[in-house]
Amino acid sequence: MSSYNSFEVEQQQVLEAAKILNLDKATCELLLWPQREFKFTMPVKMDNGEVKMFHGYRIQYNYARGPAKGGIRFHPDETVDTIRALAGWMTWKTAVLDLPLGGGKGGVVCDPRNMSDRELENISRAYVRAVAQYIGVDKDVPAPDVYTNPQTMAWMMDEYETILNVHQPGVMTDKPMQIGGTEGRRDATARGGVICVREACKVLGVDPHGTFAIQGFGNAGQRAALVHQELLGGGKLIAVCDSRGGIHNPDGLNPKDLVMHKLKTGSVVGFPGSNPIARDSVLELDVQVLYPAALENSINQNNVSAIKARVICELANGPTTPDADIILHKKGLHVIPDILASAGGVTVSYFEMVQDKYSFFWNEKVVHTRLDEKISKAYHTVQEAIKEKKVHPRLAAMVVGVARVAEACKLRGWV
């Protein structure tokens, strides 16, 4: 793990945006801190009969614009501060997209890579028992994040409905389609990012069919590999890495085969026809588009000078540190910041909430069209803020998001 504290990074970003917006002291203080934080210890029965204690969090950063919204992450490196930062970024993300939602995030300190399905189900259900009173369709709506998926959401939704004796599938999003999930949610994060890349290519006047590389090959990374070529009608994927290593082929890697290999073996390493390369060097290749799709702080002062990609589309949350951000900007690279580039997921989550409320479901084409409208509009709103405020893209996106949340807090009479 890096030495950066993500929450301090997020707070610094809020402060910079607040300064540009001339926010008063009370509003600034309100936006610097989560409104509610829940911390709990969960006893969970393991397969060997032992009971193990797990630490869980749910943080509702701000709910002035609507119910808190954001994923639940299962990860060994989780801390209260990573969850605070991620909850904050969800707040700015939903605001940049102009969704009627606030921001939240949850997490459990655990390593799902060493756990059975039954143990994961026990943790998921224990988590919901701890937070059932504090979440809900109108309060706080979780979704998957790193190392959680639609199955996790299905267990969690079931536990919630059992405890409350209600039918309320909209309490979680990115559920399996058979039990209230929506079309188009699984690749929504990647699709949102690729839509931004398409718009960026138009703005920059560059050909969208160049080379691209992906750092991180979880759900967002895998889907980006597929959606990039589909939506842009081409492009050559030349390098990918995941937590076990990196691979490279200057002639191109076949995304479909690579995803199959990852699902079968658990890693991209050893993909036939590829050469192994160091994990971090995937970030430093001379490509047209780079998708950071792993964890926080991947682009930092140690590697930023080597980064050459023309467009950097941040599918991960918080992949770039503030010092690296300034250097990317000075180098003239086009950064599509996380709170915009990775917002496709939560946008389709919002569509899922709407459909669950009405028990009436849209087809994939409708989901894709509405997603495209929302993301394209947000992309150009941020472009305008870059020009108007003369700031780098992340700060511009933060200014858009923070202004909207501040306004909601003021209208409610909170500050």
Nearer Cβ to ligand GLU (246/344): 344
Q: Which is nearer to ligand GLU, 197 or 315 (CB)?
A: 315
Task: Give min distance, CB of 189 to ligand GLU, in A.
Answer: 6
Q: Which of 69, 105, 175, 374 is catalytic?
A: 105
CB 301 within 8 A of CB 225: no
54's tokens: 């797990």
Give whichever of 68 and 311 is closer to ligand GLU, judged by the CB atom: 68
Edge-to-edge order in the sheet of strand 334-336: 275-277, 245-248, 236-242, 211-215, 289-292, 311-313, 334-336
Residue 261 touching ligand GLU (CB under 6 A): no
Say whether residue 404 binds ligand GLU (CB under 6 A): no
Residues, the chain, total?
415
Tokens representing residue 48 in the block: 């060997």
| Residue placing its CB nearer to ligand GLU in the complex, 171 or 299 | 171
CA distance 397 to 374: 15
Among positions 34, 66, 70, 319, the unique one binding ligand GLU when judged by CB under 6 A: 70
The minimum distance between CB 168 and ligand GLU, in angstroms, equals 16
- Tell me the closest approach of the beta carbon of residue 247 to ligand GLU, in angstroms: 26
Query: Is 296 near ligand GLU (CB under 6 A)?
Result: no
Residue from 317, 320, 321, 355 that binds ligand GLU (CB under 6 A)?
317
Residue 83 and residue 105 in contact, taking contact as beta carbons nearer than 8 Å: yes
Q: Quote the DSSP letter at residue 188.
A: H
Interacting residue with ligand GLU among 13, 215, 342, 355 (CB under 6 A): 342
Least Å from the CB of residue 83 to ligand GLU: 12
At residue 96, the 3 state secondary structure works out as helix
Contact 182, 351 (CB under 8 A): yes
The distance of Cα 391 from the centroid of its chain, to the nearest Å, equals 23
Exposed/middle/buried for 366, CB within 10 Å: 0-12, 13-18, 19+? Answer: middle
Question: Strand 51-62's sheet: what is its strand order?
Answer: 36-45, 51-62, 103-108, 68-74, 140-144
Out of 85, 349, 355, 391, name the contact with ligand GLU by CB under 6 A.
349
Structure tokens at 5: 């504290």
Binding region for ligand GLU (CB under 6 A) out of 68-76, 107-115, 121-129, 394-402: 68-76
Query: Contacts with ligand GLU in 104-143 (CB under 6 A)?
Result: 143
- CB nearer to ligand GLU: give 225 or 346: 346
Quote the least distance from Cβ 345 to ligand GLU, whole Å. 4
Of 112 and 246, CB closest to ligand GLU: 112
**Which residues have a Cβ under 8 Å from the Cβ of 322 and sit 6 or more positions away?**
9, 12, 13
Residue 120 Cβ vs ligand GLU, minimum distance, rounded to whole Å = 17
Among 345, 385, 400, 408, binds ligand GLU (CB under 6 A): 345
Is residue 133 within 8 A of residue 60, CB to CB? The reply is no
Query: Whole-number minimum distance, CB 222 to ligand GLU, in Å?
Result: 15
Bridge partners (DSSP) listed for residue 136: 140
The residue ranges of DSSP E strands in 178-298, in sequence order, are 211-215, 236-242, 245-248, 275-277, 289-292
Residue (321 or 342) nearer to ligand GLU, CB = 342
105 is catalytic: yes
Which among 130, 297, 313 has a CA at the least distance from the CA of 212? 313
Residue 71, interface with ligand GLU (CB under 6 A)?
yes
Interface with ligand GLU (CB under 6 A), residue from 121, 145, 158, 187:
145
Q: Which is nearer to ligand GLU, 21 or 87 (CB)?
A: 87
**How far, in Å, CA of 187 to CA of 371, rounded?**
11
Would you say 378 and 346 are in contact if contact means Cβ atoms under 8 Å apart? no
Shortest Å, Cβ 398 to ligand GLU: 16
Q: Which residues, 161 to 200, sit near ligand GLU by CB under 6 A?
A: 173-174
Q: Among all residues, which ones are annotated catalytic?
A: 105
Q: Which residues bind ligand GLU (CB under 6 A)?
A: 69-71, 143, 145, 173-174, 317, 342, 345-346, 349
